[in-house]
Copies of this chain bind each other. A is one copy, B any other.
Amino acid sequence: MLIREATADDWPAIWPFLHEIVAAGETYSWDRDTTEERAHALWFKPAPGRVFVAVDPDGTVLGTAESHPNQSGGGSHVANAGFMVDPRHSGRGVARALCAHVLDQARADGYRAMQFNAVVETNHRAVALWQTFGFEVLTTVPEAFHHPDKGYVGLHVMYRKL
């Protein structure tokens, strides 16, 4: 598996699984009917935002990640990141490989920490994975996410220094 910067040409391979994940409404606090145009704008943020893809040797896109400053101005030294893995390729360590790469790049870019603002607490696999990377749950905002099956659940604020 190779992790590289995404190009505009990668979007047609990203959109189908990104759309599937967003439409499911279980892990991302995006509108479930987010349009392709809006999704592209949300994922491909302007610089210093970065987008990565994980690809297998035949070039198949397995997953994607994006990173950007969590706040502007005086808060721009803390990065935020998002990860989407094609469900057809889960269990192969794609998220882990993307996370390791995003952390390395964020450190190289001079960020001092990384923060996730809204990790759905029932997304146990993601929470456990970020914890193996040293992220801690700073707080859980109660009932801040309406899960389609589980009702109101908490959103973790997760954080680690770089």
A residues apposed to B, CB below 8 Å: 22, 25, 28-32, 34, 70-78, 112-113, 115, 117-118, 120, 138-139, 141-148, 155, 157, 159
Contacts and interface: CB of A to CB of B under 8 A. Distances in A.
Contact of A74 (B29, B72, B76, B78): B29
B118 A144 contact: no
Contacts of A71: 29, 118, 144-145, 155
- Determine how many copies of this chain the complex contains: 2
A113 to B, nearest CB: 7
Contacts of A76: 29, 31
A146 B77 contact: yes
A139 B71 CA distance: 17
A155 B141 CA distance: 15
B115 A144 contact: yes
The 10 A-B pairs with the shortest beta carbon distances in the complex, nearest first, are: A29-B75, A29-B71, A139-B139, A138-B139, A74-B146, A74-B145, A31-B73, A30-B73, A31-B72, A29-B73
Contacts of A73: 22, 25, 28-32, 34
29 contacts: A22-B73, A25-B74, A28-B73, A29-B72, A29-B75, A31-B72, A31-B76, A34-B73, A71-B118, A71-B144, A71-B145, A74-B145, A74-B146, A75-B145, A75-B146, A75-B155, A77-B146, A78-B141, A112-B143, A113-B141, A113-B144, A115-B141, A115-B144, A117-B117, A138-B139, A138-B141, A139-B139, A139-B157, A141-B159
